[in-house]
Amino acid sequence: MLEEELKSRFAHYAAARIPGARNMKITQMSRIHGGASRQTYSIDLAYDDAHGPQTRGVILRRDPPDSLIDTERRVEFAAIQSAYGQYGIPVPEAMFLETSSDALGAPFFVMGRIEGGEPLNPFKMDAIEPHREAVGRQFFQHLGAIAALPVSGSALTREIDTPTPDACWKRELTYWTNEIRRNAKTPQPVAEAAIRHLERNPPPPAQRLSIVHGDYRTGNYLHDGNGKINAILDWEMAHIGDPYEDLAWATDLLWCGNDMERAAGFLPWPDAIRTWQSASGCVFDPAAFEWWSLFSHIKALGIWVTSEKAFADGANDDPILAWSGWFTHAAHELMLAMRLGQKYGVDL
Amino acid sequence: MTDIGMVLGRLGTKLVTEVAPKLEGDYSGGHAAMAGLMSVMAGEAWDGAADRLFTEIGEIRSLLQQGGMAVDVPESPSLKVSDLTKERDFLALNLIALQASVETREDEAAKMLNAQIWVHLMKTAQARMPSPPVFPDAEG
């Protein structure tokens, strides 16, 4: 669908959904780069209602022909609803969800736009200076707060199942193993060795069941340039599981330019863990974290081989998918090989 | 024009430093930047691709032989990257099976072979890793 047509159809849709709105116009619409899992548009609405002229910024997340991650937009929508207004977690308002293709040619959802934020490129972490410590503290505070969100009765539990604490690791490992085996274009000896290692050495049961964001990392939040995180985005992989999954993913070396000294490229590890423990109410167990940290690399490889397949098969020609299938796959394969090789007595 | 690595590298640099900044704010600007970065990566990878595959193939064949695994993978009919990749992929499937079997044994010979397989996997992963990308600063 051409953008002009999309604009016109979305204006019609918004006029019908916003109570009392008349003379609906879209004054600006631009596609945001990088969201290969959804086509993401920033839209300015202008309309009249009983109180006079109104303007509103919204974000439209529309399903692409193929995406990085095969997820239900219902889950992402429900995850945002589950976190909205809770524990100071900066999450946009979930506004409308459409699971049919009637209105815009593909399923989509709409959320409020949080103004004044910019993403941070994980390959350019130094751009956060001089606010590294302040942003880092909020990064781990919000991460812990997500782990502390009530699971029972949340919107998310109405969309997906809740595993038992001892089943979290197995469910995630099985899912991503299947993704790798189904989508990899070439044999994956490092991933296969890692999968066997993780199966032989399982972690303890989850100390609590949490809402897991699923992709909490630098690149998926907005900051205001003055040391404040003002939006946590990209909830499409949210699920119920072990809170270590998010902590391990958030501190994966790919998302902080390989900064081994600071957790997620922000804070000394003890500070980061203290902040996360305090906000989550969880207790840090290094052995369990190690399992989930290795698992993060497997999950990443699952995403990257799926990206590569989508690009190679022509289902989606966004270059970011080729990048993911090449550079980031190589990076995670290298991390996994070097970490696991050491466990088997090899140190190059 | 014979130096393909150089051509790809220069094209990529052009895309990243000249074209992408001019498209700033448009969705295609992101595409141009990513295409440029990968063009530079492709230029770097092009020169070493056949050598890397040749090395991987030799190492895997040697490991399979040490593991006593009879393999029925014919040698590549040419030095084309596509042919070498095909041979390497078949061998890699055998390597996965060998390592899975070696991991179930407790004897010293098995542990030693497993360590050798890890040396191969680590060296291969190192060789496959592209140089870190140089993201240009946004220009007005």
DSSP alpha helix (H) spans, chain B: 4-14, 20-22, 27-66, 81-102, 108-128
Q: Cα distance from A324 to chain B (closest Cα, Å)? A: 10
Please answer yes or no on whether A33 and B123 come within 8 Å at the CB atom.
no
Using pLDDT thresholds of 50, 70 and 90, give the confidence band for residue B30.
confident
Give Cα separations from A216 to A90, A142, A213 (angstroms).
13, 10, 6
For position B137, what pLDDT does the model report?
Answer: 56
A212: phi then psi, degrees, rounded to nearest 5:
-105, 120
The model's pTM is 0.93
From the list B31, B93, B99, the residue facing A319 with the nearest CB is B31
For position A36, what pLDDT does the model report?
Answer: 60
CA B110 distance to own-chain centroid: 27
User: What is residue B106's three-state secondary structure?
Assistant: coil
Please answer yes or no on whether B38 and A322 come within 8 Å at the CB atom.
yes
For position A31, what pLDDT does the model report?
Answer: 87
For position B140, what pLDDT does the model report?
Answer: 31
DSSP string, B45-83: HHHHHHHHHHHHHHHHHHHHHHTT-----PPPSSS-HHH
Domain extent listing, chain A: 3-112, 118-343
For position B134, what pLDDT does the model report?
Answer: 75
Full pLDDT tens readout for chain A, 348 residues? 678 899 999 999 999 999 999 999 999 999 887 656 678 899 999 999 999 999 999 999 988 755 445 457 889 999 999 999 999 999 999 999 998 888 998 889 999 999 989 999 998 999 999 999 999 999 999 999 999 999 999 999 999 999 999 999 999 999 999 999 999 999 999 999 999 999 999 999 999 999 999 999 999 999 999 999 999 999 999 999 999 999 999 999 999 988 999 999 999 999 999 999 999 999 999 999 999 999 999 999 999 999 999 999 998 888 999 999 999 999 999 999 999 999 999 998
Please tell me the class of the A118-343 domain: alpha beta
Give the residue on A whose Cα is nearest the Cα of B110: A344
Of all residues in chain B, the percent with pLDDT exceeding 90 is: 85
Please answer yes or no on whether A193 and B99 come within 8 Å at the CB atom.
yes
Please give the CATH number for the structural domain made up of A3-112.
Answer: 3.30.200.20
Query: Span B68-90, mean pLDDT?
Result: 96
Sign of CA dihedral A109, A110, A111, A115: positive
For position A1, what pLDDT does the model report?
Answer: 66
Domains A3-112 and A118-343 in one fold: no
Q: Using alpha carbons only, what angle is made at residue A30 by residues A29 and A35, rounded to the nearest 5 degrees?
A: 130
What ipTM does the predicted assembly reach? 0.94
For position B139, what pLDDT does the model report?
Answer: 37
From the list B26, B38, B85, the residue facing A319 with the nearest CB is B38
Please answer yes or no on whether A330 and B129 come within 8 Å at the CB atom.
yes
Is B69 an 8 Å CB contact of chain A?
no
Give the residue on B whose Cα is nearest the Cα of A348: B119
Give every CB contact of residue A279 below 8 A, 6+ residues apart in sequence.
A87, A140, A141, A142, A143, A144, A145, A147, A148
CA–CA gap between residue B6 and residue A66 (Å, rounded): 33
Give the residue on A whose Cα is nearest the Cα of B130: A327
